[in-house]
Amino acid sequence: MEIRPTTDQDLDVYVDTLHAAFGLFPETPADGGGLWWSATEMDRNLLAVTADGRPVGTAGAYTFELTLPGEALVPTSGVTGVGVLPSHRRQGVLTAMMQRQLAEFRARGEFLSVLLASEAVIYRRFGYGPATYTQRLTVPRHQAAFALPRARGTADTAAPGPGTGSIELLRRAECGEILEAVYDRYRRAQPGALSRPHRWWALGAGRPPVSSASRYVAVHRDADGVPDGYACYSLGDGTLTVDETIATDDAVATALARFALEHDLVSQVVFKHVPSDHPLRWQLADFNAGEGSSSTDWLWVRLLDVPRALTSRGWFVDGELVLDVDDPFLGQHGRYLLTVRDGKAECVPTDREPDLSLDVSDLGSVYLGGTTPSTLVRAGHIRAHRPGAAALADALFSAERAPHCLHWF
């Protein structure tokens, strides 16, 4: 078995092998699905080939930027296109591709990688942990009244008030580069968000609104007419489905939610991607009007260099912790003293007694602030060696808001 990098000449064999691994046939770009591979970076993909030259496995990577807590932007690889033919599974093909990939990510100087998992049982063994979560929120129109009068919010409290902006309704095809620009502003301030490279938008490679599938888009503009948010949606069978709401501040998010919830000829509104700390249910008169569903993992994080990872994110609480981190897949083990002062961390090797012992996949899960260390202590994943260690870790690893990612790749 040989694992080799691909070139542009391998595109057809790469895509065919991947389709076969997923049991799919090449599709036409209908609702954003058919073009999902077109942004692929052929110089970053791998092909597993048998001794007699048959391709049996694929693993790819996209070049992204990830936003960490504290609005730190870092380069990362987004693992994608992972598949092994059903005839060659459970023989270590994926394991070999993962080893090769992680070595290459390190060689690029990256200290973390990310992926979306088709099945949650696959990637923990390779050091990845679920780090952001998302859910669907369904609100019946008849329960969608807002509790706050429109005039209540004021600028000095930063509460989302009436706003001074406007909403323009566009068809997806009329949006030009507005969505790309708004998304880019949003993702820079949202922990857990990934960049969406220009090529994706230009090729329509992805789910709506990245793809040019038929959609309406409510574009929010500020008082100067500058776009600062959008909601991309479709209507059918009395349901208004919002693919994604992107807002550069809370007042814009509120205006777009109102727009969706006040739409005529609609019995319910489905917001497809909502973070766990979404304020909408607090804004409605009926706290129980919104029903969360399809709660699921989204971005998985794999740390490749613990000290660099910990010193690169922003921190909001001072403190000191000794972390004993095991990385069985890479055959590594390290004990680090993490010291946070005034929003900055230092992380150095130590032989002090540990406060917490954990697997690198669990450190990936808590890294963006979306999973509390104490949850993983209670789950039996993380071992706390002294009272108070888990609570201190919860405070230390918290982020300014729940990390959220809605980019699909």
Ligand X SMILES: CC(C)(COP(=O)(O)OP(=O)(O)OC[C@H]1O[C@@H](n2cnc3c(N)ncnc32)[C@H](O)[C@@H]1OP(=O)(O)O)[C@@H](O)C(=O)NCCC(=O)NCCS
Q: How many residues bind ligand X (CB under 6 A)?
A: 18
Does position 21 interact with ligand X (CB under 6 A)? The reply is yes
> Is 409 considered catalytic here?
yes
Evaluate whether 74 touches 38 at the Cβ level (below 8 Å): no
Span interacting with ligand X, options 38-46, 86-94, 162-170, 192-200, rule CB under 6 A = 86-94
Radius of gyration over alpha carbons of the chain, in Å? 22
Catalytic residue among 62, 64, 123, 329: 123
Nearer to ligand X, 85 or 284 (CB): 85
Residue of the chain from 52, 119, 224, 237 that contacts ligand X (CB under 6 A): 119
Report, in Å, the least distance between residue 39 CB and ligand X: 17
Does position 15 interact with ligand X (CB under 6 A)? The reply is no
Does position 296 interact with ligand X (CB under 6 A)? The reply is no
Report, in Å, the least distance between residue 21 CB and ligand X: 4
Report, in Å, the least distance between residue 323 CB and ligand X: 26
Residue of the chain from 5, 7, 22, 238 that contacts ligand X (CB under 6 A): 22
> Is 123 considered catalytic here?
yes
Instruction: Please choose, from the candidates 66, 47, 67, the residue with its C-alpha nearest in 3D space to the C-alpha of residue 58.
Output: 47
Residue of the chain from 91, 154, 267, 294 that contacts ligand X (CB under 6 A): 91
Q: Is the dihedral of CA 49, 55, 58, 63 positive or negative?
A: positive
Distance CA 61, CA 40 (A): 8
Does position 95 interact with ligand X (CB under 6 A)? The reply is yes
Sheet holding 299-303, edge to edge: 2-5, 46-49, 55-68, 72-84, 112-116, 299-303, 129-130
Q: CA angle, 94 as apex, 89 and 95 as ends, to 5°?
A: 120
Span interacting with ligand X, options 90-98, 181-189, 279-287, 357-365, rule CB under 6 A = 90-98
> 12: which residues sit within 8 A by CB, 6+ positions away?
none
Evaluate whether 164 touches 251 at the Cβ level (below 8 Å): no
* Alpha helices per DSSP H over 218-305: 250-261, 280-283
Catalytic residue among 126, 186, 271, 409: 409
Report, in Å, the least distance between residue 369 CB and ligand X: 24
Query: What SS3 state is found at 296?
Result: strand
Binding site for ligand X (CB under 6 A): 21-22, 82-84, 89-95, 117-119, 121-122, 125
Active site residues: 123, 409
